[in-house]
Amino acid sequence: MKLIVGLGNPGAKYAGTRHNAGFSVIDELAERHNIKVDTCKHKALIGKGVINGEKVILAMPQTFMNLSGESVRAIMDFYKLTVDDLIVVYDDIDLDVGKIRIREKGSAGGHNGMKNIILHSGSQDFVRVRVGVGKKPEHMDLADHVLSRFSREDLPFMRESCGKACDALEVILSDGAVAAMNRYNG
């Protein structure tokens, strides 16, 4: 069983913001595979299903971004999962809108949600899919940037990157992270 966690902040106020790119990917993946992500458990909205023959738990932590690790740890403990079973999808300001990047492990890279997951999981050796949300404009505070919505010009690229991230997750589940990296990291 694999745990696919999309990072974001709960509530209508944050829907569609750059920081909720992980939630957007989980929403699309769930829709593609008819998985209802509507059960409140372990400080998250979760749904269970099967994608490409692999049992999955799709999760959207409801702890707010900076405490995402609490939810991830609770889910991993309850289902007796290890970091080998964990895939995290999150926003990345160092990637252009429309781009994705897959890694098998790595640091948090300054992302507070990832820092908290690394802290609570005790490892940085888990697969992650980073979704580009674009660099922060010089005149803008980082928090304001990641909590902003996409421009009309960027929205089609964001939808494209959500689709690519879902495609990549499907490849990770069927063929492994390396195959997905070879196909989608450009």
Render the chain in DSSP notation, one character per residue: -EEEEE----SGGGTTBGGGHHHHHHHHHHHHTT----EEETTEEEEEEEETTEEEEEEEESS-GGGHHHHHHHHHHHHT--GGGEEEEEEETTS-TT-EEEESS---TT-HHHHHHHHHHT-S-SEEEEEE--PPPTTS-HHHHHTSBPPTTTHHHHHHHHHHHHHHHHHHHHH-HHHHHHHH--
Q: According to the annotation, is 112 in a ligand binding site?
A: yes
Stretch 59-66: mean pLDDT: 96
Please tell me the total count of domains within the chain: 1
Please report, for the domain that includes residue 127, its CATH number.
Answer: 3.40.50.1470
Stretch 90-114: mean pLDDT: 95
Q: According to the annotation, is 9 in a ligand binding site?
A: no
- The pLDDT of residue 142 is 87
Q: According to the annotation, is 126 in a ligand binding site?
A: no
| pLDDT for residue 186 is more than 90 | no
- The pLDDT of residue 81 is 98
Q: Among all residues, which ones are annotated catalytic? A: 19
Supply the pTM of this predicted model. 0.96
User: Which domain does 72 fall in, by range?
Assistant: 2-184
Stretch 145-159: mean pLDDT: 93
